[in-house]
Structure 1
Amino acid sequence: MEKRDSVLHVVVGVDASPSSHAALRWAVQYAELIGGDVVAVAAWEPPWAYGWSAPAVDPTFDRTIAERGFVNQVRQVLGESDAAQVRKRLVKGHPVEVLLSEAKGAAALVVGSRGMGGFRRTLLGSVSQQCALHATCPVVIVRATVEVPDSGTYAE
């Protein structure tokens, strides 16, 4: 495990899916065990990144609203006090590229088993699969229902 800024980091991908919520909870517990911190990462792409014709600027995207929604999502999953301990990063780019970049030097990259992929996933492979194949750190893939020792069962 490589240290960045002398603290171990656990990077977790968050995309509003039940499995990413389970991954976020898992990442927080794992970080506590190893004495590290958690960096929750959400990626966004402009609509033209999907290959269909769209305006050069997405008029419906408001970064401030997206960041507020992301922060609220983390709060809803973890509760106010745990959410305050998590660094939150909303990054423009393809989810796989963003997560791999953010996880360089991390103690672990944690992702959900099924995200918000849709049809694109069938063409390119899932984010979790690509992260497992290409990450430079250990990758943990968490299902929406996760057994956590001594903490009960999380289900969404």
Structure 2
Amino acid sequence: MDEQLEIPRVVVGVDGSSSSQAALRWAVRYAGLVGGKVEAVTAWDLPGAGTWSAPAVDADFDEEEAERRLVEEVRTVLGEDGASQVHERLVRGDPAEVLVDQAVGADMLVVGSRGRGGFRRALLGSVSQRVALHAPCPVTIIRPHGSVE
């Protein structure tokens, strides 16, 4: 019997925040331990849609520029060698929904937590909270100072 082993897939949300950068570093370390591959995902939506989005999104949104910025951010956070281990993906839509969709078939979904609490979190909703409730795989949430939830 010649069974082909699947390479573990780790999806990580990247949005330019320090906690998402910590999540990216954590995802790469984890993937290295389990022999996996990392997919860095940034969600974008049109301005005024009321969702979290890529830092590049504004009235003059340019998808190619946003993709370039995502690749740049991964290289800045991980260095050239580390970035070569990551596949970047820019996807349009609500961030939590995009991350849940991209995590189908993944072994782990990693997201940063911006650390918002109280009324503001309840009012706006939290991407990390929504992802934790709806993801089709285990979720690791990296808090702003690098601790894990």
More displaced 10-residue stretch of structure 1: 33-42 or 59-68: 59-68
Over the aligned positions, Cα root-mean-square deviation in angstroms equals 2.4
> Quick check: 1:96–1:130 contact (8 Å CA) kept in 2?
yes
**Which residue is equivalent to 2:54?**
none
**Which residue is equivalent to 2:88?**
88
> Quick check: 1:21–1:144 contact (8 Å CA) kept in 2?
no
SS in 1 for 2:49: helix
Q: How far apart, CA to CA, are the structure 2 residues paired with 1:38 and 1:125?
A: 26
Unaligned residue ranges in structure 1 (runs of 5+):
52-57, 149-156
Residue 144 of structure 1, CA deviation:
2.7
Residue 59 of structure 1, CA deviation:
4.7
Q: Percent identity?
A: 60
Q: How far apart, CA to CA, are the structure 2 residues paired with 1:12 and 1:122?
A: 23
1:45-71 Cα distance to aligned partner (Å, 9 max, x none) = 0124239xxxxxx75100111111111
Instruction: Tell whether 2:128 aligns with 1:142.
Output: no
1:19-40 Cα distance to aligned partner (Å, 9 max, x none) = 0000000000000111110000
Alignment length (residue pairs): 136
**Which residue is equivalent to 2:34?**
34
1:43-98 Cα distance to aligned partner (Å, 9 max, x none) = 000124239xxxxxx75100111111111011000001110110000000010000
The normalised TM-score by structure 2 is 0.83
Higher relative contact order (CA 8 A, sep 6+): 1
**Which residue is equivalent to 2:55?**
none
Unaligned residue ranges in structure 2 (runs of 5+):
52-57
**Which residue is equivalent to 2:97?**
97
